[in-house]
Amino acid sequence: MDSPIWVYILGLVGMAVYGSRILIQWWISEKSKKVESPGSYWVLSSLGAMLLYVYGWLRKDFSILFGESVSYYIYMWNISIKGMYKKVPRILIIFQALFPVFILALIARDLPAFTASFLQNEDIPLWLLIYGILGQFTYEIRSVYQLVYSYRRNESILPLGHWVLAVVGSLMIISYGIIRHDWVLVIGQFSIVFSIRNLMLSIGEHKRR
């Protein structure tokens, strides 16, 4: 354990918030017998991502920061397309939008230190860092796929391809977490069970069509 215990607790809280979204989404989908995209899924995604931004910064793990950066604003788009921002004070929306910029600005204050601690961290060999980034990219690119798919239909949808990428990405992140001895990442991927279930529901929908 190379970080203070409170850092891991923060990471677990972030993963708990992030993971609770899929529990809610799964429960709603099971009741309707099809994959649903509830607003709570995207709100919890955004809150969890904010906590994981801080966790990745404290852990000096570039792969975590990279992964969250891929999907963060896509969560905001889904919240917006559902009309949920109409009930939120503008100051909170601005804070949400600028939060990643704030974290990245803290990192960029000292680029040499950033390079040394994030990209040349002796605790994370280059090959492992690349593998971690690929895992996060595979997992988070599902959000880009979901955005393109939903944008074309002008509604928030969680399609089949989203769940395929989620399962593959989760497996890569789990293996990365094991090698990295980061059990927060491993535990946080418990949602792979529900991703597999959503994948099954999506395949069922396609067969019925």
Q: What is the mean pLDDT of each run of 10 residues along the chain (209 residues)?
A: 82 90 92 91 94 88 84 94 93 95 83 68 78 90 94 93 95 92 86 92 83
The span from the CA of 39 to the CA of 80, in Å, is: 10
Report helix, strand or coil for 35.
coil
Predicted pLDDT of residue 10: 92
Is this model's pTM higher than 0.95 or not?
A: no
Measure the CA dihedral 180/23/151/71, to 10°. Answer: -20
Q: What does the pLDDT read at residue 181?
A: 84
pLDDT for residue 119: 63
Confidence (pLDDT) at 156: 93
Distance CA 185, CA 181 (A): 9
pLDDT score, position 208: 77
> By the 8 A CB rule, do 11 and 42 touch?
no
What are the C-alpha distances in Å from 67 to residues 50, 70, 199? 12, 5, 21
Closest of 41, 35, 50, 37 to residue 20, by C-alpha: 41
For 3-159, where are the alpha helices, taking DSSP H only?
5-32, 39-59, 62-81, 90-108, 111-114, 126-153
